[in-house]
Amino acid sequence: MPAVFAALFLLLVSQRLLEMALSARNRRWALACGGMERGNRFFPVVVAVHTLFFVSLWLEWRYRSPGWSAAWPLWLGLLLAAQLLRLWSIRSLGPRWNTRIIVIPGSKPVTDGPYRFVRHPNYLAVIVELVAVPVMCGAYITAAVFTAANALILIRRIPEEERALAEAGGTPLENLPRFIPRF
């Protein structure tokens, strides 16, 4: 199934490139609206980790993978759910969605869409994707290494983002869980 892997890989890389273009456009808009960027010195680390994820995924698939996981339909389902959550998150934030931490002073956090249930649905989608894609493809080392690397990023990034939101205009989100909704 090398052609299926290549198609999936190209689809995900294309998606990331489109997201980076959207993020750049939204960054210009937010800064023009008086937005303030936080944590920008750490941003190259985020970009490097996510870029190296794709390099590692490709290399492990090519040289070490035993092939598709027997449970690939489960992992594909989780990946599709994560993609839907990511798109819902991006749509809900509109021009405020960004890969950087930029807040516009006086603006209230978005509480529509998935943000009604959790504070960080987009990060949840990324967490699921960083596990689902490599495990589905038999790239278990990539899954372990980049899940850990992403956790280290989020340990620093989430508190920085939440502080920036609170300083910009207060946040009514502290009663919401970060990732897993309460029903």
The DSSP call for residue 115 is G
10-40: pLDDT as tens digits: 999 999 999 999 999 999 999 999 999 998 8
**Structural tokens at position 94:** 């509109």
Interatomic CA distance for residues 181 and 174, integer angstroms:
13
Architecture of domain 2-169: Up-down Bundle (1.20)
Interatomic CA distance for residues 179 and 30, integer angstroms:
25
Give me the residue spans of the domains in the chain: 2-169
Interatomic CA distance for residues 11 and 83, integer angstroms:
12
119-176: pLDDT as tens digits: 899 999 999 999 999 999 999 999 999 999 999 999 999 999 888 888 876 555 666 6
- Name the 3-class secondary structure at 66: coil
Contact (Cβ atoms closer than 8 angstroms) between residue 159 and residue 167: no
